[in-house]
Structure formats: structure tokens, C-alpha cells
Structure 1
Amino acid sequence: TICFIGIPFITAYNIISSIFRGLGDSKSPMYFIAIACVCNIGLDYLFIGALGLGPAGAALGTTLSQTISVIISLIVIRKTNTGIKLTKEDFKLKKDTIGNVLKIGIPVSLQDGFIQISFIIITIIANRRGLNDAAAVGIVEKIISFLFLIPSSMLSSISALGAQNIGAGKPHRAKLTLRYAIILILCSGVVVIGIVQLIAPQLVAMFDDSPEVVRLGTQYLRSYVVDYLFAGIHFCMSGYFCAIERSGISFLHNSISIVCARVPISYIASIKFPTTLFPMGCAAPCGSLLSIIICVIAYIVINKKEKTEAIQNG
């Protein structure tokens, strides 16, 4: 209940952070979240340690730290020369503004929801294979979530930088941003995948050193980590589509990849290959590869449409 109360503050933080990123300032959101983390640690010591509030104290500390972060970010907006001045009028609902936000936001939220549902389904599939398989899949998901911080950050970066350039009337620079981001993903991906292939057993063993879990986790991780490249590319393209107000494409390709590749391949692999998780780990790269194909087609179609409109407009 206490954590639920903190949802508005999480939402407010994300909105304010997006504003700063839109202004080309990605450092301030990092500082805000760092302050929240420090406050959270201190409040946890106070509420859990000194006051003995237990889980409720942990939840209260998290909620209050989020509140502090939002308050500080609002103060920064008002005090710094951002060109943004908050007044009472700004908090009144405006139909056009809400419509624009929902136009981009709803597809993105549905996309994230579908992705989480796919994770749940894959977890269920793994759980039915047995305890060791479930443990291995759970461990690898944690490792992957850490490794994917770079591809995920590319999505946010391209979305912000691309929107900036398009707003400035320089769409070609938005495309250059996409191109360079994909190059960065390819370069970093080769390094990350290579390292993980070498140290996969050690990574899994950090969480569970039982031989069977390490064996299964290593198999799953070595095939799954290839998705760093493929997912990174379609993350970049999704960021670009959001920048040009075509977030529906991101929702479309993710939904198709989940329904047509990720989940069915995971299910089939779990049945056909009961002694190994390597084929099941291939489901994620296959799904991302399908997403890339859809993204490339959409990108080509949009470019052709833009060129046609440019010719017609003289």
C-alpha cells in the first residue's frame, strides 16, 4: 500500500527527467536519482534499524526518497535557466497536450506491458521444466537485465536527441543519431557477447554454484546474450520512431515478435530439448531479429513517403 502511494512520485520523476533529457541534460536526472538512492539508504537505516518498522519502514523509506527527489527536481527547474517556468496554469488539463502525450505514450506503455507478460510466460515455461531450469532462467534474466542497460539507454537517448533535431527542423541529424547509435551497439555488442561467452559459467555461479544450475544457466546465457546485438538495434530504431511520433511501430514490432517468435519458440524449445536451455535462449534473438526486419521495412516506407512529400511540395 505504501509503495502504491509512491507511484505518482515515480511518474512525476519520469516526466521531469524526460523534460531535462529533452533539453539535452541527461546528468540532472542521474543526480536526482542518486539523491533518492542516498536518501533511501539513510531512511531504511532509520525506519528499519532504529525504529524497527520492518517491511513497512522499507516501503516508507522508498516512497519518501522518491518524494524528495521530485521536490528537488522541481526546485531545480524553477531556479535554473531552463526556460521553463511552472505556474498554476500549467497544472490545468489541456486536451491537445494530453492527446499528444497519450498518442505516443499509450503504444509505449502497451509495448512494455506485452514485454513483461512475455517474461512471465517464459518464466512459467521454465518453471514447468523443473527447479534447476527455473533457477537458471531466473539468474540469466537478472544478468541480461544488467547487460541490457546500454541498449536500453540508447532507446532513451535516440528518442530525446532525435526529437530535439526534428524539432529544430533537422531530421537528417536524427537519422545520423540513429546510425551512430547502431554502430555503438554493434561495437559494444561484439565485446559484451565475446566476454560473456568466456565467463558465462562464472557469472551464473555468482548466484548459484550448484553444478546443474551452472550448466543450464551457462547454456541459456550463451544463446540469450546474442540478443544484445539484435535487441540493441531495434531499441535504437524504436527510439527513432518515438522521436518522429510513430511509437505505434514500436508497439507493433514488439507485439509481433512476442506472439510469433519469442513465446512460441521458447515453448517449442522447452518441449523438444528437455535436457538443455540453449535452444530456449535462442528465442529472444529470434524475436528481436523479426523486430529488426519489421523496423527496417517501416523505416524504408517512412523515408520513401517523406521523399515523395518533399518532391510534391517542390
Structure 2
Amino acid sequence: MAESKKNAIQKGDLTEGSIVSKLVLFALPLIAGNIVNQLYNVADSLVVGNFVGSDALAAVGVSFSVMMSFNALFFGLSMGAGILIAQCFGAKRQKQLQDAVNTAFTLTLILGAAITVLGVLLSRGILTLMQTPENIMEDSATYLSIIFFATIGNLVYNMGSGILRGMGDSRWPLLFLIFCSVMNVALDLVFVIFLRMGVAGVAWATLLSQCSSAVLVLLRIHFGGYAARIQFRHLGIKKESLMHILRLGLPSGIQEMTFSAGMMIIQSFANGFGSDFIAANSIIMKVDGFAVMPMMGLGSAIATFVGQNMGAGKLDRTKKGIRAATGIVTGIGIVMGVLFLLFGHYLIRAFTDNQPVIEMAMNGLRFLAFIYTIMGIGSVVSGAMRGAGASIAPMITSLCGLVVRIPVAYFCAVLPHNYMGLFVAMASAMIVNCSLISIYYFKGNWRSKTAVHAEVKEQAE
């Protein structure tokens, strides 16, 4: 048994071997997974935009920001759990690793139930506060009322994927995501085209596919022969593991919540430009995601890489990995920006034939194409800082970006009634965030912030 645990740990070990090849091989499934996840979201918009209409497309776009706001705290805590698991895995601390897995899963069930109840009760009121246009209010409320029942499935999949990544396995989460994305597209087509269920059909397709992905990831963790598994008979909250998860994840959770609240404010600004722009903005976010998702994948990969290597006490290897990831993401940003400038209009036309919507979407996408490199560097360095245990720094820099974004959006978009001001505000926030987190990295304070690694190591000694 001890030998099998040792082999399981070695299988996902990022603390030995070629830095670039280890990082790239670990990151590729994450990047592919994020792209597949984006396709998963795009499928809903393509089906709705082409078979229901632009108002329904706008309704799904508005609903997405509300749903993300409710899930924001959990996503931060799941980052904390993944970092803790990576650090325990890198430090070869079996008991702490198992406690972290059990605690993370228990926390997921509790928060999933709470988010479901609150989301169903409050979603319509929030849509009203966001000044959602009357012509899309009912579709938005219908979509949300169904999609919130998928919350537990969504959270279980995300936490389960984080657990697997923390133990060095980024391949199986990708395979499950591909399977469930295909399932989602098939159900979209059946429910919307053949059963004519409209926006509700898209929501039901998402619910069923997300619950399926949750079941698959749970089975893999439990029966996959990893260094730790979910022990259903011993579920519960271990105080020590919970405190570590909160210390690592709460800053990210607060960051995600604040960012999502800010996005709801920005969405309310966007709603003031009418349903055509709401639809255009929804398309931009879907197309833009194909550039953002590889960067987020590298950000997640470097967080695990840094977590394992800091857990193993390998600072020099950690810094080399951060430099490698930054170089890779810079190249991705340049390539994606050029591709969108040249071919973006073809992607946008796949969603709608509404000419005003197409024109507004293309104007926004052309602007964003120039900031992808900045966005990518910020994502990678922030992920590295979280992996090292310095989660407060990315939180602060992100909040600073938000503090800049909202007033810039108001003065450049709302007052002159010019929707392009919303993209100027986004670029301003990205520049502020990237600059501040880069300054923090070069100062080197993050090297002394690995509290969890130090405590785990001391306990072992």
C-alpha cells in the first residue's frame, strides 16, 4: 500500500525533470480543457443566437454574469484547496493530503447547497437591479432558475478537477470535460431545435451535462489510484485543513466576488445600450474566451507547479518555471491578437446575422486584440503568486484594477453614451493589474509567504 502511494505521488511530480517540458505537458490539458469549456459555453450561444434570436442570446449573456457572481467565492476557495493539495503533494505529506481532499469535498457540498438556494431566491431581484431590459427579463429569469439547480454539479466538477490537478493529473479533467461538452451540444440541439424549449432547453442541457461531469470526476478520484481519494465514510471538516484552505483561498474568493460584483456593475452599464449591444458583448466574451482560456490554463498550471516546488523547497526551479510560463503566454497573446484582427469577423458571423450586432462586436474585438499579452502576463504571475501562498497580492492588484475600471467605464462609456468606453475601461484595468503584480513579483516578498508549506514541513520534522 505504501509503495502504491509512493508511485502515485511520483506520477504527478512536477518537482523533477525538464522545467519547460513538465510545465508544457501539464499545461496542455488545462489549456485544452479551458478551450473545450469555452466551446461548451459558445454552444449555448450559437444554438440560441441561430435558432431562437438575438434577444434570447442577450438573455443568456446577462444571466452568465449573475451566475458567476454567486459562484465567485467558491472558485476562490477551490483555488486554495488546489494549492494546499499541490503543496502537500510536493512535500510528500500523505496525511495532510488526505485531510485536505476530504475537507475540500465536504466544503463543496455545503457551499453548493447554499448557492443553489440563494441563487433561486435572489436572481430575479438582481436582474431588476441590473436594469435588465424588459424584452429579455423573462428569458433571463427562466435560464437562471434552472441553471442554479446545476450549481452542485458544477462546483463538484471544478473542485474535483482542482484536486486532480493538485496531484499532478490534468488529463482526466480534460477527458471528462470533452465528453460532457459533446453531451451539452447534443442536448442543446435536441431541446432547442426538436423540442422547441427555447432558453429553458439550453439551461436544461447545461444542468444535465454538468451533473454528469461531476459524477465522472468523483469516480475517477475515488477509484483512480491517486495518493489520496475522497473517503465518503470519513467526510467532514478538518480544522487545520480548513484554515489552510481559507488562508490560501479566501483572498482569491474575495477577489472573485469583488470582480464579479464589478462585472455586474459593468453589465448594468452595458444594459443601458440596449439588447443589440448586450448580444454583441455576449458574442465578444465568447470569442474573446478563446484567447483568454489558454492564458488561464497556464495560470492554473503555474500555480500547481509553484505550489509543488515551493512545497519541496525548490525556489530556483520555481522562478525558472515562472519565467518559462511568462514567455509562453506572451507568444500566445501575440498570436491570438493577430488571428482575431484578421479573422474575427468570421467567428462573430457564426453567432448572428444581425448587422448592428456584428458591427459592434467587431469594434470591441479589434480593441481587445491589442491587450492579450498584458492580460496573459498578469494571469501567469498572479497564478504563480497564489501557488506560492501569497494569495493576498493578486487580490489587492485585481481590486486596484477594478477600482480603475468602474469609473473609467462610467466617464468614457456611460456619460458620453459610447459603448467603446467599456473596452477602454477593461484595458485600463488589465494594465494596472499586470503592472502591480509584476512589481510585487520582482520585489520578492512572495518568497516568504509560503506559510502552509512551512507549517506542513515543521509538522513533519
- Aligned pair 1:138/2:282, yes or no? yes
Q: Residues 257 and 233 of structure 1: is their aligned pair in 2 closer, same or farther, counting only changes over 3 Å?
A: same
Aligned partner of 1:310 in structure 2 is: none
Q: Indicate the SS of the match to 1:282.
A: helix
What amino acid maps onto 2:333 in structure 1?
A: G
How far does the alpha carbon of each residue in 1:223-252 deviate from its partner, in whole angstroms, 9 at most, with x for none? 123232111111111111110111121211
Q: Which residue of structure 2 lines up, in the alignment, with residue 288 of structure 1?
A: 430
Residue of structure 2 in register with 1:230 after alignment: 374
Written as runs of structure 1 = structure 2, the 5 A alignment for 1:28-67 is: 28-38=172-182, 40=184, 62-67=206-211
For 1:293 and 1:35, the matched residues in 2 are separated by 39
1:1-314 counterparts in 2 under 5 A? 3-38=147-182, 40=184, 62-87=206-231, 90-260=234-404, 262-271=405-414, 274=417, 277=420, 279-303=421-445, 306=448
Unaligned 5+ segments in structure 2 are: 1-144, 449-461
Structure 1's 141 and 10: CA in aligned 2 closer, same or farther, altered over 3 A? closer
Q: 1:127: Cα distance to partner?
A: 3.0
In 1, distance between residues paired with 2:196 and 2:352? 31
Structure 1 residue 220, shift from structure 2 partner: 1.7
Deviation (angstroms), 1:32: 2.1
Amino acid at match of 2:243: G
The alpha carbon displacement at 1:42 in A equals 6.7
Superposition deviation, residue 145 in structure 1:
2.4
C-alpha separation in 1, matches of 2:365 and 2:392: 31
The alpha-carbon distance between structure 1 residues 68 and 229, as it changes in their structure 2 partners (threshold 3 A), is same
What SS does the corresponding residue of 1:93 show, helix, strand or coil?
coil
Cα RMSD of the aligned pairs, angstroms, is: 3.3
- Shift in alpha-carbon separation, 1:134–1:242, aligned structure 2, 3 A: same
Question: Offset at 1:94?
Answer: 0.8
Deviates more, 1:280-289 or 1:77-86: 77-86
Question: Which residue in 1 is equivalent to 2:14?
Answer: none
2:423 is aligned with what amino acid?
Answer: G
Q: Distance in 2 between matches of 1:34 and 1:71?
A: 14
Percent sequence identity over aligned pairs: 27
Say which SS state the counterpart of residue 444 (structure 2) adopts: helix
Q: Quick check: 179-188 or 112-121, which moved more?
A: 112-121
Contact 2:412 2:418 in 1 (8 A): no
Ranges in structure 1 where 5+ consecutive residues have no aligned partner:
307-314
Instruction: Give the AA of the match of 2:402.
Output: I
Q: Which amino acid aligns with 1:267?
A: Y
Q: Judging changes above 3 Å, is the alpha-carbon distance between structure 1 residues 49 and 165 closer, same or farther for their aligned structure 2 residues?
A: same
State the TM-score, normalized to the length of structure 1. 0.82
Secondary structure at 2:432's aligned position in 1?
helix
Q: Closer, same or farther in 2 for the Cα pair 1:177/1:275, shift >3 Å?
A: same
Structure 1 stretch displaced more, 76-85 or 164-173: 76-85
How far off its partner does 1:146 sit?
3.0
- What letter matches 1:238 in structure 2? S
SS of the residue aligned with 1:187? Answer: helix
> 2: CA distance between counterparts of 1:23 and 1:120?
35
CA distance in 2, matches of 1:297, 1:90: 44
Q: Which has the larger displacement, 106-115 or 16-25? A: 106-115
Q: Are the structure 2 counterparts of residues 118 and 276 from structure 1 closer, same or farther at C-alpha, using a change threshold of 3 Å?
A: closer
| SS at structure 2 position matched to 1:213 | helix
**Residue 274 to residue 7, structure 1, CA distance change in 2 (3 Å):** closer
Distance in 2 (CA, whole Å) between partners of 1:195 and 1:45 is: 29
Aligned to 1:311: none
State the alpha-carbon separation in 2 of the partners of residues 290 and 109 from structure 1: 20
Q: How many angstroms does 1:295 deviate by?
A: 0.5
Contact 1:162–1:243 (8 Å) recurs in 2:
yes
C-alpha contact (below 8 Å) 2:269/2:414 kept by paired residues: no
Q: Which moved more, 1:60-69 or 1:186-195?
A: 60-69
Tell me if the contact between 2:388 and 2:446 (Cα under 8 Å) persists in the aligned partners: no
Alignment correspondent of 1:312: none
Q: Deviations over 1:123-171 (max 9, x none)?
A: 3223324454444333322221232111111121111111111112212
CA shift in 2, pair 1:268/1:202, >3 Å: farther
Q: TM-score, normalised by structure 2?
A: 0.58
Write the distance in 2 (CA, Å) between the matches of 1:274 and 1:101.
44
> How far did 1:192 drift?
1.2
Q: Is the 8 A contact 2:184 2:205 kept in 1?
A: yes
